[in-house]
């Protein structure tokens, strides 16, 4: 569907192990 954005499953920024250290809410530059 059109409302689905880009696929991020393989993006290391979205891995749980990385989000613990760098939460999405604290990112300066978002996709």
pLDDT tens for the chain, 31 residues: list them. 789 988 999 999 999 999 999 998 898 876 5
Say which residues have a Cβ less than 8 Å from residue 14's Cβ, sequence separation at least 6.
8
pLDDT value for 31: 58
| CA dist., res. 29 & res. 2, Å (int) | 23
| CA dist., res. 8 & res. 15, Å (int) | 9
pLDDT value for 1: 79
Spacing of C-alpha 18 from chain mean position:
9
Q: Say which residue the tokens 């979205």 belong to.
A: 14
pLDDT value for 21: 95
pLDDT value for 10: 96
pTM beyond cutoff 0.85: no
């Amino acid at each position: 569907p059109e409302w689905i954005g880009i696929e991020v499953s393989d993006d290391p920024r979205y891995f749980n192990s990385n989000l613990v250290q760098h939460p999405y809410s604290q990112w300066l530059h978002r996709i």
